[in-house]
Amino acid sequence: MASPQAGYKYLRTYQLATVIYDCAVIFCDKYIDKRSRTHDQMVQAGRSGKQNIAEGYEEKSLRGYIKLLGIARASHVELLEDILDYARQHRIPVWPKDDLRIREFRDLRVVGDIDHPDLPDLPENPEVSVNYLLTLLHQEIYLEEKQISSLEQKFIREGGFTENLFKKRLEYRKK
């Protein structure tokens, strides 16, 4: 029987990706022309990050899961670069990682029902919004890298779906 806390919705990477996606939509609606390709690209990068975590988790193949997490990470890097471009083009300062305000952002947690979390509001000030999103993205990318590394180690130890099926097939033939 599966644990009641099993599933991608309980992954910290998925929870944080959900917050990032929602904040990216709000950010883009506030600060990026809705008719621009950049608006669409940024929203889709946030969505892709979140959706690929979910899809990868449901993948039977560990190799496929690792690949989809890599795509999620790449989507989040793309969104990070778009936010950095916005900051540069609008002369918005990017705060250093040891700034006290950044530390406060890092301490925020997603709370509430797993299907309907109480999401932190995107700050009204564009400088604060940019740095808030950058902080979330840096956290997410770090967590995705750790998750990918952990899954790669599991793959090395246990093999993947295809390898394990092949072993079962050989065992069956020996009978």
**CA gap 164, 148 in Å, rounded:** 20
- Res 2: pLDDT: 45
The CA dihedral of 45, 46, 47, 53, to the nearest 10 degrees, is 100
- 9: pLDDT strictly greater than 80: yes
Q: For 8-174, CATH number?
A: 1.20.1440.60
Q: Domain-by-domain residue ranges, the chain?
A: 8-174
Report pTM.
0.85
- 110: pLDDT strictly greater than 70: no
pLDDT tens-place string over residues 12-67: 999 999 999 999 999 999 999 999 999 999 999 999 999 999 999 998 888 899 99
Please give the C-alpha separations between residue 131 and each of 83, 125, 142, 166, in angstroms, as whole numbers.
Answer: 9, 10, 16, 49
